[in-house]
Structure 1
Amino acid sequence: MYGNTQNDYHHYQDADLAIQTAAATPHQLVLMLFNGLMDELVRARSHIEAKRFEKKAQSINKCIDILNALTSALDYDRGGDLALQLAGIYDYSVYRLYDASDKLSVEMIDEVAQILGNIREGWEGMGKLNG
């Protein structure tokens, strides 16, 4: 009669995310990506600590995919030097995550989380100015 409750919940989450994404402004989409990235960094760190290496690899790959999405969303024409600087930071973060994955380093993940957390705060601050 009732389906797999966990599976039903994931379908609900997916549908909710699709609705949020469809209604979001570009600024809100960037913040959604950053929030997902920060959550996934926490997961990657915990997978390293718990020696769940396959899950660690999946989390690191998700983080890199999100960073690549953030890079591809940059507007180099209107963003100028700031867009170039962000691209450099995202690129650096990708390389640090590859190193963190290879060396099983929570410190490198923490470094990336701190850098990207500061950028996310900047995006949040811009939303408050424009909102």
Structure 2
Amino acid sequence: MIPSQRANAAYQAGAMTVPPLHAVVMLYDGILVRIRNAGIAAGQNDWARQYEEVSRAVELLRGLLSVLDYERGGDVARGLHQTYHANITALMRSVGRSEAHEMYRRIESGLRELRNAWAEIAGVPESNPSEAAEGK
């Protein structure tokens, strides 16, 4: 199974056990953890782990991308499509770069805002960077 199919399958499985909006928030949480881990790996010059964490974050973003409903979502879905693609590109370009940690901080900040917007809609608590650092 290719990574995007795995991500889509994970989303579909999650959607069967939790409300769909909660599944979206959980996917964002997973992405944020992976980005934080990639930053830690970059700081340790552990390029293999950095690449693995970035790849996992990208896989989750592709999962979110694959379930966008352009008919019902209209401009919002198109905007999310562009945002996900831009983040995927930025993440893939970050591996091994000296400024990777700063790149991850900016990417994480933007995605956390999106995550918290979805969380508000879903009625789940917001997250903050200190919680992500603690692995919550």
Say yes or no: TM over 0.5.
yes
- Give 1:102 shift: 4.2
Match of 1:123 in 2: 118
Partners in 2 of 1:103 and 1:47 — Cα distance?
Answer: 12
More helix per residue = 1
Partners in 2 of 1:82 and 1:102 — Cα distance?
Answer: 33
Partners in 1 of 2:21 and 2:93 — Cα distance?
Answer: 30
Name stretches of at least 5 consecutive residues in structure 1 with no aligned partner.
1-16
Query: TM-score w.r.t. structure 1 length?
Result: 0.79
Deviation string for 1:29-61 (max 9, x for gaps)?
111111111111110000000111111110010
The letter of the residue matching 2:29 is N
The letter of the residue matching 2:74 is G
Name the % identity: 23
1:62 matched to 2:56? The reply is yes
**Residue aligned with 2:54, SS:** helix
Partners in 1 of 2:31 and 2:104 — Cα distance?
Answer: 12
Kindly tell me the number of residue pairs found equivalent between the two proteins. 111
The letter of the residue matching 1:32 is M
- Give 1:128 shift: 2.2
Runs ≥4 residues deviating over 2 A: none
Match of 1:82 in 2: 76
Larger radius of gyration: 1
Partners in 2 of 1:90 and 1:113 — Cα distance?
Answer: 12
Match of 1:112 in 2: 107
Name stretches of at least 5 consecutive residues in structure 2 with no aligned partner.
1-9, 125-136
Query: TM-score w.r.t. structure 2 length?
Result: 0.76
